[in-house]
Structure formats: C-alpha cells, structure tokens
Amino acid sequence: MRHLSALPLGLLLAACSSPPSQRLLADDALAAMGGRERLQAIQVLAMKGGTGTRYRLGQTRRVGGDESPAPQLTNVNETADLLNGRASLDYEVKNGDFVQHRHEILTRRGGVPGAAASGVAGDVRNAPLVGIEIVGTRPIVATSPGGLFSWGTQNSPEFLLRRNIVTIALAAADSMSDDQPAEDKELDGRMLGFGTAKTADGEEIGVYFDPESKLIAGFETIDTETMLGDVPAQYLFSDYRAVEGVVLPHHVTIRKGGRDYSDVQYASITIDDPQALGVFSIPESASAEADRAVAAGEYTPLALTKVADGVFLAQAYSHNSLIVEFPSYIAVVEAPYTETQSRVLARLIREQFPNKPIQYAAVTHHHYDHIGGIRGIAAEGATLLVATRHEPVIREVMDARHTHPPDELEKGRSRGVSWKGEFYEGKHILAEGNQALELYVIEGSPHAEPIVLAYVRSVRALFQSDLWFPGTGGAGSPAARHLLESVRKLDLRVDTNIGGHGGVAPFSELVAAVGKMPQ
C-alpha cells in the first residue's frame, strides 16, 4: 500500500478530509462504551431511581388541551432482561391531583431454567410471554402481553427491549456500512455524525454520533404506539457514566411526532444483578390467571354479568363496558384500555349472543385509557358513535397507521376494510323493537369536556365513566356532583348506576354521597 506521505499534496488533503465510514463511527462508539465483548455479555440492565416527565398521557380535560403542568414520573425503575426478552416498568405517575403507583411487567410463564453464560439468569427464552399489571390497590392481574397499558416512560415495557442503548449500539455496529460515508446531521443544534442501521428484527434506525466523545448521542426510528400509531421517534442519550466496565447513559429523552414524550434522569444503573430479576417472578395471586392467559392466547380478566333484561356489564379488573342487547344486534358503550380487552370482549359477546353482531360502539370521553380498545372493536365491524367534539381525537387514533406490529384494524386495510363512525351533537338514540339506548352529551364536567352518559330507559339504568365508581362506597366529588346535577337536568329517572370503573349499585348511593358533600 502506498504511504500517505508519498501521495501528491492534493490527494493527501482529500484523503485527510474524507468523512469516516458509518461503520467506523459505530465501532468507535462500541469502543467508547467498553467494547463489543462487554456489551454483548450484558444480560440484564436495571435503571433505577429515575425522575422526570411523561407527556401525552391522553388525559387532558378538553379535546386539544395541553398537559400543563407536565405529568411527573418519580421512583422510576426499569429492568430489561435482554437474554430472555422480558421487561419491567415500575414508576409513580402524578398528573395534577391524580397520583398512582404502577408496575407493568412483560415476563414469561414456564420454561426450563438453565445456567446462562454468566450465571445471572436462567434461559427461559422459549417460554410463552405473559403480562402482569400491578396498580395501586387493585388486585394483581395477568393478561396476554397486548393487554398491558402503561403511563411510564414508554407505551409498553416491550419497548425497553428494542430501544435500549445496548441493543442500538450493537445493531449499529452489526449493520452499518463500511462503504457508506457518515453524514453530518444536526440534532438539537449540534452537527453530529449520522448513519443508518437496522435492528435484529428489521427496523431501520438512524444513529447520531458525538464527534468528541465518540458515544451515541441519539437515534431516530418509527415507533408504533397503541394510540399514536406509527410515529417518528427520537431517543436522545446523555449523562454517560461508567458502570461495571462499560459506559452507559443515565439521562434519556424521548420525542414522538416532533413533541416531547418522556424525559427521565436515572440515579444509577446496574448490570447483571441477580436480584434485579425478582421483578419477573409471577406473584402467587396471579399464577392461575397467568396459566389461563397462556392457554387462551388472547386474554384479559373480563366477565359478562346481567344487570337487567337486555343490559349487561362487561366487568374487567379496572375498566368496564356496558353491553346492550337489541333484537338483531349488540351495542357496546366504551371500548377501553387495550385492543386485547376489546378482542376478548368480542369473543365473549359471540359466545353469549352467537347470532348478533356488534353493530355499534359508543365513546364516553376522549381519555386514552377509555378509548384504548376502539380500534379493536372497530375491527370487529362496529360503527363508532362519537360526540362531535370528540371527533378530532377519535379520527387521529383511527386513521393512524399501525405497522410494527400491525393491529387488527391495520390488517383489515389490506382487505379494503375501513372503520366507520357516526358523529352527533347533544343526543343520539339507538332503537330497535322495544329496546333503546340513549346517549347524552353533557358539558361542564370537571373531569372531561364533554362527556357522554348512556341511559337505557326500559330498565332505568345509567352508565358513566370516571364520574362515580358505583359500589365502592367512595366519597362524593365535584365530578360526582356534576353528574347528579346533569341527570336531574336531563330529567332521567335512574334506578341503577353502572360504572366504567367500580360496578353496579343503586343510584341512591350517588345521591347520598353527594348529599354529604359541603355546599
């Protein structure tokens, strides 16, 4: 090979100014982090003591409103078992007066544990996946993985397995080109080295490299969110610190769709700590249910209970639905929480009402935990009944593409299937034979603006979400007072109160609770 000093001056200057290859930047990043062998040997990452923010909870009072002040995350502890494909999000979320401790776990049921390379974790990679949700004072429940709902740093713990720094750094080094020169590309006002790579499951990512530290400053890709669908996402890494022979970022900022999504500063990170794996043990109280989840394939705790003739409560461990039976079809009020819950609900309805399709599904309000299953119920053929002021949120959710992985509505697109909606103001009535379902849009609730009440006049039953939890014996609240005032203003004669949370109770329970409130 000809020595550079022997080249003509013009060629020498050109050689010296040629940009490095993308692969060289990726290899330099691996070296700066501690080397390929050390990163490949990592089985378990545990990020602890995080504090920060999580935006886009979908809990604004008004459609199109902002989340101000930003919802806060504290006591954030996240664990990624890279060997076995398990992940855990454990955190406390505070949004205004609402505070909740949540723990969502993607784990595995069964398998034959074996000694891993470092003796840290048994190999259970071939065991089926199960979701475990531990929230506040609720019973611990098991679901299929798609039944998990999170307000943590991510939409699901599964994201930790594909979006952590170790996985990204190794993917960049394994897939970036030796032949393609790195680009100069701006990120947050800094010009950084940039190259494209692919993850092990084929996702394309663009990676930014800091020219001074040689470390990965961030990456960008497309995330498929439960509510947002396919959305451009950026992950920014900073505050790199030495951790047991490697260097890892302790500050992670996530943006999706060009907007802030989450931002967390972790106090510490541990690698391959055997005690960190304790979060993946399935609690005894959920053990039998975990077996049911594995056997069913698509599972979440849900049961249909008759309230009155033609009226049923689909009661889940948290978010419920109202089922109204008509002579030739079924109407559902509220398809909440997750697509998994909607699919399980549809299966139960088919079993109990085999000749009656789900023809309609009504939305009560725009909060994400109360519309998380609308894509799933629409994929069953239901026409969505939506108050006009909720239309922008519902259209955004329904029109979004969901490609990685595709949900049932996305799969229907390839067959020419599209969702259907009917939009109304004030009042909407479904009627067939002797059955009728009345939907009323009420204004001024301190919880959500507007919110819809569902009323079955034939049995004097009312369904509402988030305003009062029937059967729980709770105290009155401003939302409960407004509910009672709205029912009286509409001149609805109600005997039975059915809740999107809670259960079924006499309407007199609400009247008594509000009556005890100070005027």
- The Cα–Cα gap between 91 and 77 comes to 6
Q: In the prediction, which pLDDT does 15 show? A: 46
* 183 shares its domain with 231: yes
Number of domains in the chain: 2
Domain end among 289, 311, 339: 289
Q: In the prediction, which pLDDT does 163 show? A: 97
Query: Is residue 455 in some structural domain?
Result: yes
Domain end among 233, 256, 289: 289
Mean pLDDT of 410-438: 95
* 260 shares its domain with 227: yes
Q: What is the pLDDT of residues 334-365, one digit of tens each?
A: 999 999 999 999 999 999 999 999 999 999 99
CATH number at residue 428: 3.60.15.10
* 382 shares its domain with 280: no
* 346 shares its domain with 403: yes
User: Which strand (E) or helix (H) includes residue 375?
Assistant: helix 374-379
Mean pLDDT of 321-338: 97
* 49 shares its domain with 134: yes
CATH number at residue 66: 2.50.20
Distances (CA, A) of 143 to 284, 294, 503: 15, 9, 21
* 215 shares its domain with 319: no
Q: In the prediction, which pLDDT does 12 show? A: 40
Mean pLDDT of 286-308: 96
Query: Residue 497 pLDDT > 70, yes or no?
Result: yes
- The Cα–Cα gap between 94 and 74 comes to 8
- The Cα–Cα gap between 271 and 290 comes to 28
Predicted TM-score of the model (pTM): 0.92
- The Cα–Cα gap between 435 and 241 comes to 65
Query: Is residue 294 in some structural domain?
Result: no
* 100 shares its domain with 154: yes
Helix, strand and coil in the chain, % to nearest 5: 25, 35, 35
User: How many percent of the chain have pLDDT more than 70?
Assistant: 94
The residue with greater pLDDT, 113 or 457, is 457
Domain end among 243, 269, 289: 289
- The Cα–Cα gap between 172 and 160 comes to 17
Helix axis angle, 165-175 relative to 22-33, nearest 10°? 140
Q: What is the pLDDT of residues 112-132, one digit of tens each?
A: 443 333 345 568 999 999 999
Query: Is residue 37 in some structural domain?
Result: yes
Query: Is residue 4 in some structural domain?
Result: no
* 352 shares its domain with 501: yes
* 201 shares its domain with 244: yes
Q: In the prediction, which pLDDT does 121 show? A: 57
Mean pLDDT of 76-103: 97
Domain coverage including residue 420: 300-515
* 319 shares its domain with 340: yes
Query: Is residue 181 in some structural domain?
Result: yes
Query: Is residue 376 in some structural domain?
Result: yes
Mean pLDDT of 260-273: 97
Q: In the prediction, which pLDDT does 17 show? A: 62
Q: In the prediction, which pLDDT does 416 show? A: 85
* 268 shares its domain with 311: no
Query: Is residue 6 in some structural domain?
Result: no
* 445 shares its domain with 326: yes
Query: Is residue 9 in some structural domain?
Result: no
